[in-house]
Protein backbone atom coordinates (compact mmCIF):
# COMPACT_ATOMS: atom_id res chain seq x y z
CA UNK A 1 0.00 0.00 0.00
CA UNK A 2 1.11 3.57 -0.74
CA UNK A 3 1.66 5.63 2.40
CA UNK A 4 -0.91 8.38 2.96
CA UNK A 5 0.42 11.89 2.42
CA UNK A 6 -0.02 14.16 5.44
CA UNK A 7 -1.56 17.39 4.11
CA UNK A 8 -0.11 19.31 7.08
CA UNK A 9 3.26 18.81 5.39
CA UNK A 10 2.30 20.93 2.35
CA UNK A 11 2.70 24.68 1.99
CA UNK A 12 0.23 26.62 -0.25
CA UNK A 13 2.18 26.06 -3.48
CA UNK A 14 2.72 22.39 -2.71
CA UNK A 15 -0.98 21.91 -2.01
CA UNK A 16 -1.86 23.46 -5.39
CA UNK A 17 0.59 21.05 -7.05
CA UNK A 18 -0.88 18.10 -5.15
CA UNK A 19 -4.42 18.98 -6.22
CA UNK A 20 -3.12 19.23 -9.79
CA UNK A 21 -1.84 15.67 -9.50
CA UNK A 22 -5.37 14.66 -8.54
CA UNK A 23 -6.75 16.39 -11.63
CA UNK A 24 -8.21 19.30 -9.62
CA UNK A 25 -8.11 23.04 -10.29
CA UNK A 26 -5.98 25.36 -8.07
CA UNK A 27 -9.02 26.85 -6.26
CA UNK A 28 -9.63 23.41 -4.72
CA UNK A 29 -6.30 23.75 -2.91
CA UNK A 30 -7.46 27.00 -1.32
CA UNK A 31 -10.72 25.39 -0.19
CA UNK A 32 -8.85 22.43 1.22
CA UNK A 33 -6.36 24.66 2.98
CA UNK A 34 -9.15 26.68 4.63
CA UNK A 35 -10.82 23.52 5.90
CA UNK A 36 -7.57 22.27 7.39
CA UNK A 37 -6.07 25.44 8.85
CA UNK A 38 -9.10 27.68 9.49
CA UNK A 39 -11.67 25.09 10.55
CA UNK A 40 -9.31 22.52 12.05
CA UNK A 41 -10.94 19.75 10.02
CA UNK A 42 -9.27 16.35 9.89
CA UNK A 43 -12.23 14.51 8.33
CA UNK A 44 -12.62 14.86 4.56
CA UNK A 45 -16.36 14.09 4.76
CA UNK A 46 -16.81 17.30 6.79
CA UNK A 47 -15.47 19.41 3.89
CA UNK A 48 -18.90 19.97 2.44
CA UNK A 49 -18.04 22.34 -0.41
CA UNK A 50 -15.60 19.86 -1.95
CA UNK A 51 -16.95 17.53 -4.61
CA UNK A 52 -17.65 14.05 -3.28
CA UNK A 53 -15.33 12.61 -5.93
CA UNK A 54 -12.46 14.72 -4.56
CA UNK A 55 -13.28 13.77 -0.97
CA UNK A 56 -13.23 10.11 -1.95
CA UNK A 57 -9.86 10.54 -3.68
CA UNK A 58 -8.42 12.25 -0.60
CA UNK A 59 -9.69 9.55 1.78
CA UNK A 60 -7.71 6.94 -0.12
CA UNK A 61 -4.51 8.96 -0.50
CA UNK A 62 -4.16 11.59 2.23
CA UNK A 63 -4.51 12.26 5.92
CA UNK A 64 -4.44 15.28 8.26
CA UNK A 65 -2.45 14.28 11.33
CA UNK A 66 -0.86 16.53 13.95
CA UNK A 67 1.33 15.11 16.73
CA UNK A 68 -0.77 13.42 19.44
CA UNK A 69 -1.11 15.14 22.81
CA UNK A 70 0.57 13.23 25.65
CA UNK A 71 -0.15 15.75 28.42
CA UNK A 72 -1.84 19.13 28.78
CA UNK A 73 -1.13 21.39 31.79
CA UNK A 74 -2.32 24.90 32.62
CA UNK A 75 -0.34 27.17 34.94
CA UNK A 76 -1.81 29.38 37.64
CA UNK A 77 -1.10 32.39 35.37
CA UNK A 78 -2.99 30.83 32.44
CA UNK A 79 0.08 29.59 30.55
CA UNK A 80 -0.73 26.24 28.94
CA UNK A 81 1.83 23.59 28.02
CA UNK A 82 1.29 20.55 25.84
CA UNK A 83 3.69 17.63 25.54
CA UNK A 84 3.19 16.12 22.08
CA UNK A 85 4.36 12.80 20.66
CA UNK A 86 6.62 12.98 17.61
CA UNK A 87 7.26 9.24 17.46
CA UNK A 88 10.11 6.81 18.19
CA UNK A 89 10.06 7.68 21.88
CA UNK A 90 10.47 11.43 21.31
CA UNK A 91 8.20 14.17 22.63
CA UNK A 92 8.40 17.96 22.36
CA UNK A 93 6.71 20.79 24.19
CA UNK A 94 4.47 23.60 22.93
CA UNK A 95 3.53 26.54 25.17
CA UNK A 96 0.67 29.05 24.93
CA UNK A 97 1.08 32.36 26.79
CA UNK A 98 -2.12 34.44 27.12
CA UNK A 99 -1.94 38.20 27.63
CA UNK A 100 -4.55 40.95 27.64
CA UNK A 101 -4.15 41.91 23.99
CA UNK A 102 -2.65 38.78 22.43
CA UNK A 103 -2.08 35.06 22.67
CA UNK A 104 1.43 33.82 21.90
CA UNK A 105 2.35 30.25 20.98
CA UNK A 106 5.91 29.03 21.49
CA UNK A 107 6.68 26.26 18.97
CA UNK A 108 9.43 23.61 18.89
CA UNK A 109 11.31 22.78 15.68
CA UNK A 110 13.56 19.89 16.77
CA UNK A 111 13.37 16.93 19.15
CA UNK A 112 15.99 18.27 21.55
CA UNK A 113 18.75 20.65 20.54
CA UNK A 114 22.35 20.14 19.44
CA UNK A 115 23.53 23.69 20.20
CA UNK A 116 23.87 22.90 23.94
CA UNK A 117 23.80 26.41 25.40
CA UNK A 118 25.05 26.29 28.99
CA UNK A 119 21.94 27.90 30.53
CA UNK A 120 19.27 25.92 28.63
CA UNK A 121 17.78 22.71 30.06
CA UNK A 122 16.60 21.65 26.59
CA UNK A 123 20.18 21.52 25.34
CA UNK A 124 21.24 19.44 28.33
CA UNK A 125 18.82 16.76 27.16
CA UNK A 126 20.62 16.37 23.84
CA UNK A 127 19.31 16.04 20.30
CA UNK A 128 17.55 13.34 18.32
CA UNK A 129 16.14 14.71 15.05
CA UNK A 130 14.56 17.55 13.11
CA UNK A 131 10.77 17.83 13.11
CA UNK A 132 8.77 17.58 9.90
CA UNK A 133 6.55 20.38 8.57
CA UNK A 134 3.47 18.55 9.89
CA UNK A 135 5.06 18.26 13.34
CA UNK A 136 5.90 22.00 13.40
CA UNK A 137 2.71 23.50 11.92
CA UNK A 138 0.76 20.73 13.66
CA UNK A 139 1.60 22.36 16.99
CA UNK A 140 -0.15 25.56 15.87
CA UNK A 141 -3.05 23.58 14.36
CA UNK A 142 -3.48 21.57 17.56
CA UNK A 143 -3.17 24.51 19.95
CA UNK A 144 -5.50 26.89 18.05
CA UNK A 145 -8.36 24.40 17.95
CA UNK A 146 -7.75 23.00 21.45
CA UNK A 147 -8.00 26.56 22.77
CA UNK A 148 -11.17 27.20 20.77
CA UNK A 149 -12.76 24.04 22.17
CA UNK A 150 -11.77 25.05 25.70
CA UNK A 151 -13.27 28.54 25.31
CA UNK A 152 -16.35 27.46 23.33
CA UNK A 153 -15.33 29.38 20.20
CA UNK A 154 -16.43 28.09 16.80
CA UNK A 155 -13.83 27.06 14.23
CA UNK A 156 -13.52 29.02 11.01
CA UNK A 157 -12.58 32.63 10.21
CA UNK A 158 -15.65 34.02 12.01
CA UNK A 159 -14.49 32.57 15.34
CA UNK A 160 -12.11 34.74 17.37
CA UNK A 161 -8.52 33.72 16.71
CA UNK A 162 -6.88 32.50 19.91
CA UNK A 163 -3.26 32.58 18.74
CA UNK A 164 -2.26 36.01 17.42
CA UNK A 165 1.52 35.63 17.68
CA UNK A 166 3.92 32.75 17.12
CA UNK A 167 7.49 32.51 18.40
CA UNK A 168 9.84 29.79 17.16
CA UNK A 169 11.51 29.64 20.56
CA UNK A 170 10.65 26.16 21.79
CA UNK A 171 12.92 23.14 21.67
CA UNK A 172 15.61 23.22 19.00
CA UNK A 173 17.47 25.66 16.74
CA UNK A 174 15.01 26.56 13.92
CA UNK A 175 17.72 27.50 11.42
CA UNK A 176 19.33 24.07 11.74
CA UNK A 177 16.02 22.64 10.47
CA UNK A 178 15.66 25.23 7.75
CA UNK A 179 13.38 23.87 5.01
CA UNK A 180 10.60 22.44 7.24
CA UNK A 181 10.70 25.58 9.40
CA UNK A 182 10.34 27.91 6.39
CA UNK A 183 7.50 25.80 4.93
CA UNK A 184 5.69 26.05 8.29
CA UNK A 185 6.31 29.83 8.34
CA UNK A 186 4.75 30.19 4.89
CA UNK A 187 1.61 28.44 6.15
CA UNK A 188 1.42 30.69 9.19
CA UNK A 189 1.53 33.76 6.94
CA UNK A 190 -0.87 32.58 4.23
CA UNK A 191 -4.30 34.25 4.22
CA UNK A 192 -5.99 30.94 3.43
CA UNK A 193 -4.38 29.35 6.49
CA UNK A 194 -3.57 31.38 9.64
CA UNK A 195 -3.07 34.80 8.06
CA UNK A 196 -0.52 35.98 10.61
CA UNK A 197 1.47 39.14 9.96
CA UNK A 198 5.24 38.77 9.46
CA UNK A 199 5.59 41.19 12.36
CA UNK A 200 3.72 38.75 14.61
CA UNK A 201 5.84 35.71 13.79
CA UNK A 202 9.28 35.64 15.41
CA UNK A 203 12.08 33.19 14.77
CA UNK A 204 14.71 32.90 17.48
CA UNK A 205 18.20 31.72 16.59
CA UNK A 206 21.44 31.21 18.49
CA UNK A 207 23.25 32.71 15.50
CA UNK A 208 23.52 30.41 12.46
CA UNK A 209 24.90 33.16 10.22
CA UNK A 210 24.51 31.60 6.71
CA UNK A 211 20.92 30.59 7.48
CA UNK A 212 20.05 34.09 8.76
CA UNK A 213 21.00 35.35 5.29
CA UNK A 214 18.99 32.58 3.62
CA UNK A 215 15.94 33.36 5.77
CA UNK A 216 16.09 37.02 4.74
CA UNK A 217 15.64 35.92 1.11
CA UNK A 218 13.08 33.13 1.53
CA UNK A 219 10.74 34.18 4.33
CA UNK A 220 11.81 37.19 6.42
CA UNK A 221 9.90 37.31 9.69
CA UNK A 222 10.74 39.12 12.93
CA UNK A 223 14.14 37.95 14.16
CA UNK A 224 15.32 37.34 17.71
CA UNK A 225 18.93 36.42 18.42
CA UNK A 226 19.97 34.55 21.57
CA UNK A 227 22.97 36.71 22.43
CA UNK A 228 23.62 36.17 26.17
CA UNK A 229 27.19 37.52 26.14
CA UNK A 230 28.97 40.73 25.32
CA UNK A 231 32.30 39.35 24.04
CA UNK A 232 33.51 36.28 22.15
CA UNK A 233 35.38 34.70 25.05
CA UNK A 234 32.30 34.61 27.24
CA UNK A 235 29.92 33.69 24.44
CA UNK A 236 32.13 30.79 23.37
CA UNK A 237 31.53 29.25 26.80
CA UNK A 238 27.80 30.01 26.97
CA UNK A 239 26.77 29.46 23.34
CA UNK A 240 29.23 27.00 21.71
CA UNK A 241 27.99 27.94 18.22
CA UNK A 242 29.83 31.24 18.69
CA UNK A 243 33.14 29.48 17.97
CA UNK A 244 31.90 28.92 14.41
CA UNK A 245 30.01 32.21 13.98
CA UNK A 246 31.64 34.86 16.26
CA UNK A 247 30.02 38.10 17.27
CA UNK A 248 31.44 40.27 14.47
CA UNK A 249 29.99 37.89 11.87
CA UNK A 250 26.69 37.68 13.74
CA UNK A 251 26.32 41.48 13.98
CA UNK A 252 27.06 41.80 10.25
CA UNK A 253 24.36 39.20 9.49
CA UNK A 254 21.90 41.15 11.66
CA UNK A 255 22.63 44.34 9.73
CA UNK A 256 22.02 42.52 6.44
CA UNK A 257 18.79 40.98 7.74
CA UNK A 258 17.37 44.37 8.71
CA UNK A 259 17.20 45.31 5.02
CA UNK A 260 14.47 42.68 4.57
CA UNK A 261 12.94 42.36 8.06
CA UNK A 262 9.29 43.27 8.71
CA UNK A 263 10.39 45.20 11.79
CA UNK A 264 13.08 47.85 11.89
CA UNK A 265 14.95 46.20 14.76
CA UNK A 266 16.44 42.89 15.86
CA UNK A 267 15.55 41.58 19.32
CA UNK A 268 18.56 40.42 21.31
CA UNK A 269 17.68 37.94 24.04
CA UNK A 270 19.97 38.04 27.03
CA UNK A 271 19.69 35.53 29.87
CA UNK A 272 20.78 37.17 33.13
CA UNK A 273 23.30 34.96 34.94
CA UNK A 274 24.51 35.98 38.37
CA UNK A 275 28.17 36.99 38.33
CA UNK A 276 28.68 35.66 34.80
CA UNK A 277 27.31 38.17 32.26
CA UNK A 278 25.54 40.81 34.37
CA UNK A 279 28.16 43.41 35.35
CA UNK A 280 28.20 47.07 34.35
CA UNK A 281 31.18 46.28 32.12
CA UNK A 282 29.16 43.64 30.24
CA UNK A 283 26.39 46.20 29.67
CA UNK A 284 28.92 48.72 28.30
CA UNK A 285 30.39 46.05 26.02
CA UNK A 286 26.90 45.31 24.66
CA UNK A 287 26.38 48.98 23.87
CA UNK A 288 29.70 49.07 22.00
CA UNK A 289 28.83 45.83 20.19
CA UNK A 290 25.61 47.15 18.65
CA UNK A 291 26.62 50.79 18.21
CA UNK A 292 30.20 50.52 16.93
CA UNK A 293 30.95 51.19 13.28
CA UNK A 294 29.32 53.28 10.57
CA UNK A 295 26.11 51.19 10.69
CA UNK A 296 24.85 50.41 14.21
CA UNK A 297 22.49 47.44 14.65
CA UNK A 298 18.97 48.75 15.25
CA UNK A 299 17.84 46.58 18.15
CA UNK A 300 16.06 46.10 21.42
CA UNK A 301 17.23 43.97 24.33
CA UNK A 302 15.01 41.50 26.13
CA UNK A 303 16.61 40.60 29.46
CA UNK A 304 15.52 37.17 30.64
CA UNK A 305 15.76 36.18 34.32
CA UNK A 306 17.46 32.77 34.26
CA UNK A 307 15.35 29.75 35.26
CA UNK A 308 17.84 27.66 37.25
CA UNK A 309 18.18 23.91 36.85
CA UNK A 310 20.70 21.74 38.77
CA UNK A 311 22.94 20.66 35.87
CA UNK A 312 23.74 24.23 34.82
CA UNK A 313 25.67 25.29 37.92
CA UNK A 314 24.32 28.81 37.28
CA UNK A 315 22.18 31.22 39.29
CA UNK A 316 19.69 33.93 38.35
CA UNK A 317 20.88 37.53 38.60
CA UNK A 318 19.34 39.41 41.50
CA UNK A 319 16.44 41.70 40.59
CA UNK A 320 18.24 44.95 41.56
CA UNK A 321 21.20 43.92 39.35
CA UNK A 322 18.87 43.23 36.41
CA UNK A 323 17.28 46.67 36.85
CA UNK A 324 20.67 48.39 37.01
CA UNK A 325 21.86 46.49 33.93
CA UNK A 326 18.70 47.44 32.05
CA UNK A 327 19.13 51.09 33.03
CA UNK A 328 22.64 51.26 31.56
CA UNK A 329 21.32 50.00 28.24
CA UNK A 330 18.30 52.31 28.35
CA UNK A 331 20.50 55.32 29.16
CA UNK A 332 22.43 54.56 25.97
CA UNK A 333 19.19 54.88 23.99
CA UNK A 334 18.54 51.14 23.57
CA UNK A 335 14.97 49.94 24.14
CA UNK A 336 15.25 47.37 26.94
CA UNK A 337 12.63 45.14 28.49
CA UNK A 338 12.76 42.52 31.24
CA UNK A 339 10.80 39.39 30.41
CA UNK A 340 8.19 38.34 32.93
CA UNK A 341 8.59 34.74 34.03
CA UNK A 342 5.50 32.81 32.95
CA UNK A 343 4.47 29.23 33.52
CA UNK A 344 7.42 28.24 35.69
CA UNK A 345 5.11 26.24 37.98
CA UNK A 346 4.59 23.81 35.05
CA UNK A 347 8.18 24.11 33.72
CA UNK A 348 6.98 26.15 30.74
CA UNK A 349 9.22 29.17 31.28
CA UNK A 350 12.07 30.23 29.00
CA UNK A 351 14.84 27.63 28.89
CA UNK A 352 12.82 25.01 30.75
CA UNK A 353 11.33 23.05 27.85
CA UNK A 354 12.73 19.54 28.02
CA UNK A 355 10.22 17.08 26.53
CA UNK A 356 11.41 13.50 26.21
CA UNK A 357 14.20 12.94 23.70
CA UNK A 358 16.27 9.94 22.67
CA UNK A 359 19.65 11.65 22.77
CA UNK A 360 21.90 11.04 19.75
CA UNK A 361 24.48 13.53 21.07
CA UNK A 362 25.06 11.74 24.41
CA UNK A 363 24.82 14.97 26.39
CA UNK A 364 23.76 13.16 29.57
CA UNK A 365 26.80 10.89 29.40
CA UNK A 366 29.09 13.86 28.84
CA UNK A 367 27.52 15.69 31.80
CA UNK A 368 28.14 12.64 34.00
CA UNK A 369 31.78 12.61 32.88
CA UNK A 370 32.07 16.31 33.75
CA UNK A 371 30.68 15.59 37.24
CA UNK A 372 33.33 12.87 37.62
CA UNK A 373 36.12 15.27 36.69
CA UNK A 374 34.80 17.93 39.07
CA UNK A 375 34.79 15.39 41.87
CA UNK A 376 38.38 14.45 41.01
CA UNK A 377 39.83 17.89 40.20
CA UNK A 378 37.58 20.22 42.21
CA UNK A 379 34.31 22.13 41.62
CA UNK A 380 35.96 24.75 39.39
CA UNK A 381 36.85 22.22 36.70
CA UNK A 382 35.03 23.17 33.48
CA UNK A 383 33.37 26.23 34.99
CA UNK A 384 32.62 29.27 32.87
CA UNK A 385 35.54 31.66 32.71
CA UNK A 386 35.63 34.95 30.89
CA UNK A 387 38.64 35.02 28.61
CA UNK A 388 40.56 38.28 28.70
CA UNK A 389 38.74 39.81 31.66
**Angle, alpha carbons 216-219-223 (nearest 5°):** 60
pLDDT confidence tier of residue 358, bands split at 50, 70 and 90:
low
What is the mean pLDDT of the segment spanning 354-372?
Answer: 53
* Rounded Cα gap, residues 78 and 95, in angstroms: 11
Q: What percent of the chain has pLDDT over 90?
A: 72
pTM over 0.75: yes
Q: What is the pLDDT of residue 351?
A: 46
Check residue 114 and give its pLDDT. Answer: 80
Question: What are the start and end residues of each CATH 3.20.20.70 domain in the chain?
Answer: 68-377
- In this structure, of 200-204, 368-372, 374-378, the range with the lowest mean pLDDT score is 368-372
Higher pLDDT, 249 or 353: 249
SS3 of residue 85 by DSSP: strand
DSSP state of 73: E
Which residues are CB-contacts of 190 (< 8 A; sequence separation ≥ 6)? Answer: 11, 12, 33, 37
Task: Calculate helix-pair angle for 178-189, 133-151, nearest 10 degrees.
Answer: 40
Range in 35-44, 112-121, 179-188, 205-214 with the lowest mean pLDDT: 112-121
pLDDT tens for residues 42-89? 999 999 999 999 999 999 999 999 999 999 999 888 899 999 999 888
The C-alpha atoms of residue 343 and residue 341 are separated, in whole angstroms, by 7
Pick the CATH number of 5-63 from 3.40.50.1390, 3.30.565.10, 3.60.15.10, 1.10.150.530: 1.10.150.530
- The C-alpha angle 340, 141, 360, rounded to 5 degrees, equals 75
Delimiting residues of CATH 1.10.150.530 domain(s) in the chain: 5-63
pLDDT in tens, 200-255: 999 999 999 999 999 999 999 999 999 999 999 999 999 999 999 999 999 999 99
Predicted local distance difference test score (pLDDT) of residue 364: 53
For residues 275 and 386, the model is more confident at 275
Tell me how far apart the alpha carbons of residues 301 and 226 are, in angstroms, rounded to a whole number: 10
Residues annotated as catalytic are 93, 350
Q: Cα separation of 139 and 360, whole Å?
A: 23
Task: Please give the Cα distance from 389 to 315 (Å, whole number).
Answer: 20
> What is the average pLDDT value for the chain, to the nearest integer?
88
* pLDDT reported for residue 253: 97
Average pLDDT on 278-304 reads 95
Is domain 68-377 in CATH 3.30.390.30, yes or no?
no
Amino acid sequence: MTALINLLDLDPAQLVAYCGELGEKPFRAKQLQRWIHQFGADDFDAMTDLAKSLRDKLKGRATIAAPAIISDHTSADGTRKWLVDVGAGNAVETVYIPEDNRGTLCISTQAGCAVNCRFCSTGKQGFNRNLSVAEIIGQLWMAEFELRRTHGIEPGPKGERQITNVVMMGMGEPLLNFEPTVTALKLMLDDNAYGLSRRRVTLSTSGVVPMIDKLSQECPVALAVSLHASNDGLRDSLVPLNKKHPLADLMAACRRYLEFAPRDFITFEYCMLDGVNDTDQHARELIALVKTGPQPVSCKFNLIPFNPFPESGLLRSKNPRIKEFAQILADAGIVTTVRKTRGDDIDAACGQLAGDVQDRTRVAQRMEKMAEYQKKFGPDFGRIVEVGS
